[in-house]
Amino acid sequence: MKLATLNDGTRDGKLVVVSKDLTRFTDVSHIAPTMRDALDNWADVKKHLQNADQGLMVGSVPSERFHEHEVMAPLPRAAQWADGSAYVNHVELVRKARGAEMPQSFWEDPLMYMGAADAMLGARDAIPAGDEDWGIDLEAEVGVVVDDVPLGISPQDAADKILLVTILNDISFRSLIPGELAKGFGFLQSKGPTAFSPVAVTPDELGDAWHDGKLHLPILVQLDGELFGKADAGVDMTFDFPTLIAHAAKTRKLSAGTIIGSGTVSNKLDGGPGKPVGEGGVGYSCLAEIRTIETINSGKPETPFLGFGDMVRIEMNDTDGRSIFGAIEQVVVKV
Amino acid sequence: MKLATLNDGTRDGKLVVVSKDLTRFTDVSHIAPTMRDALDNWADVKKHLQNADQGLMVGSVPSERFHEHEVMAPLPRAAQWADGSAYVNHVELVRKARGAEMPQSFWEDPLMYMGAADAMLGARDAIPAGDEDWGIDLEAEVGVVVDDVPLGISPQDAADKILLVTILNDISFRSLIPGELAKGFGFLQSKGPTAFSPVAVTPDELGDAWHDGKLHLPILVQLDGELFGKADAGVDMTFDFPTLIAHAAKTRKLSAGTIIGSGTVSNKLDGGPGKPVGEGGVGYSCLAEIRTIETINSGKPETPFLGFGDMVRIEMNDTDGRSIFGAIEQVVVKV
């Protein structure tokens, strides 16, 4: 099942079920007016939503053309947003460029930060920034939306709490990060609002690509129309989603509608840093990583961060080349 | 105007207007079913809520007995929760005990962390913890609930965005903090769910005690029935609330229903560390602070953190000794 939130002028939008091929939708606001309502009552509404999905497939319910530019984030206001750094390769690389050692414990204990969940961006919303000097960067990630999760859940039990899967762009302001992290309390000003794909999907929709608590497909990143990255989200993911959920819930419960992110997808090929797509590599899911590799190789970064007017596109295709989530496509604009 | 959220079995509860003396309430769910709805549409509903408040005062609307133990948090699921450390004295003291220097910039640039906003506790809800070894601590604070705040707002303009004022208990797990902060991404497992007073009030309700973006009254803390702290929230608050709001909104907008916290209230009397209430001092708003002072004075902390069954009470009275917000009264329980 694929779900989206249409922009109807309200803060939480209107819930719709979208066809597998992302061309049609059927209004399900009589079942649950918003995604939030659906997640609040998932056990009760799931079956009704599935019936609507079946109806959409066989043409027995009213449907309309689905346009990706008409959506909000699937959850415009999420219960909570906690983002992991499951691709430890990425963390190690970024630290290396800064000249900072990565503690060995990072391979066993997930790194995770709390973000703002109150103003999630839709797939075509602009990336708002006040200044190019902030070091505007994308971060292409996978995320899961969970049901209510009790305090102290095990990773085994956490696997069953994953209701929806999505891809996302965790916008970072790199130039603000060192000063803010040095203060010791984590990210606040150095993270912009997070953007999500047009649809979120139930795990069964991913077929064989979803196993072991990971999504085993490349995440495709384009910058200004050029392919920049195609790292496989199932490769080098040190902590799977159930482990990340259990980490977030170790000392407090999570409410339904909490989103847990994977962190920037990053593959460590052949034991060394990744190569650009043009040189036969899988490329990158953020600019910080290529700048890091440039710094390691030649002493300084060459690729600039995003500027006003630059366009980021993030997508994921199934093994037949069909878009699963629709595309995140954002232009950076000055606010 | 005083507002509360009654527990009606739903996730967001039911909005009511409460009398000044906290003895009666009138149902306003026909105006806005929940606090969240009211804040989403504050400009439209404020006048209607004020009319209900007037009606409650003169007895022209139906009312019922208000019981503090029947409430949820005013905003059980807030849009966002960002907590400052505006009482820099507290930050300096806690660091001193750890043997860590505090950067001079902390006096000019607010320290603030992102917390979880999805499961706020009501005033009588238990403090859930898995283990006493977590170092369970209270933090008595003042908080403000804001309207929509645009990216890049000035402190001057931010003052007008404060819709409600509340007091709160920012539960911390002190033993988990050093390890987590060392990882560099801020608090996640080391913060429990935050608890709020029975009512939140509009700033006008505070009269002369609300000026210069601060609440000028002592915050009263009892531990197991003994007065432990009465630090004045208006004293030694280095950053006022408008400054904290502007800090949180520097690189992204804040949605209506965002809560900004003051950090643990702490007074620096006569240029030295605070004295216990029993010795003529104002005492403390958290256990970490007295333990810090004990460490500075005698090399090690003597006061233990909270144990299962311990009771925390946080309240604030007006100059006539009447409770403004009702009391937070929580017992620590094992989960």
Total H helices, total E strands in chain B: 7, 20
ipTM: 0.96
Chain B neighbors of A252, CB-CB under 8 A: 116, 119, 128, 191-193
Residues of chain B positioned with their CB less than 8 A from the CB of A115: 114
Are A255 and B128 inside 8 Å of each other by CB? no
Ranking A88-102, A303-317, B181-195, B286-300 by mean pLDDT, the lowest is A88-102
B15 - beta bridge partners?
B5
Q: What is the pLDDT of residues A263-286, one digit of tens each?
A: 999 998 655 557 888 888 899 999
Residue A131's nearest CA partner among A327, A305, A329, A318 is: A305
3-state secondary structure of B118: coil
Position B269 confidence tier, pLDDT thresholds 50, 70, 90: low
What is the average per-residue pLDDT within B269-283?
A: 75
Compute the 3-state secondary structure of chain A and give helix, strand, coil in percent, each to the nearest 5.
30, 25, 45
User: What are the tokens at B321?
Assistant: 């000794």
Per DSSP, what are the bridge partners of residue B227? B222
For residue B65 the two structure tokens come to 């007995």
User: Amino acid letter at A250?
Assistant: K
Q: What is the pLDDT of residues B51-82, one digit of tens each?
A: 999 999 999 999 999 999 999 999 999 999 99
What does the block give as tokens for B51? 């009319």
Question: Which member of A151, A193, A258 has the closest CB to residue B128?
Answer: A151
CA distance B116 to B10: 19
The pair of structure tokens assigned to A94 is 């970024």
* pLDDT tens digits, one per residue of B166-222: 999 999 999 999 999 989 999 999 999 999 999 999 999 999 999 999 999 999 999
- Do A263 and A239 contact (CB within 8 A), yes or no? no
What pLDDT is stored for residue B270 in this prediction? Answer: 52
Q: How many CB atoms lie within 10 A of CB B226?
A: 11
**Shortest distance, CA A184 to any CA of chain B (angstroms):** 6
Distance from CA of B114 to the nearest CA of A (A): 6
Q: What is the DSSP string of A255-312?
A: -TTEEEE--S----GGGSPPPPGGGTS-B-SSHHHHHHHHHHHHSS--S--B-TT-EE
**Which residues of B are less than 8 Å from A118 in CB distance?**
79-80, 117, 254-255, 257-258
Q: To the nearest whole angstrom, how far is the Cα of B119 from the nearest Cα of chain A?
A: 6
pTM of structure: 0.97
Residues B208-261: tens digit of each pLDDT: 999 999 999 999 999 999 999 999 999 999 999 999 999 999 999 999 999 999
Which among A103, A118, A187 has CB closest to B186?
Answer: A187
Q: Are the C-beta atoms of A128 and A193 separated by less than 8 Å?
A: yes
Q: Give how far B140 is from chain A: nearest CA, Å.
A: 19
Among A151, A165, A137, A170, residue whose Cα is nearest residue A264: A170
Q: Pick the residue with more confidence: B153 or A101?
A: B153
Of A128, A130, A250, the CB nearest to B189: A250
Band (pLDDT 50/70/90 cuts) for residue B95 is: confident
pLDDT at A125 over 70: yes
Which of B118, B188, B252 comes nearest A116 by C-beta? Answer: B252
Q: How far is B59 from chain A (nearest CA, A)?
A: 35
Contacts of B81 by beta carbon, 8 Å cutoff, 6+ apart: B114, B115, B116, B117, B120, B194, B258, B259, B261
Closest CA to A152 of B117, B334, B180: B334
Q: Contacts of residue A251 in chain B, CB cutoff 8 Å? A: 129-130, 134, 173, 176, 189-192
Where do runs of H (alpha helix) occur along chain A?
A: 35-40, 42-58, 88-98, 155-158, 177-182, 241-248, 287-298
Higher pLDDT pick, A244 / B99: A244
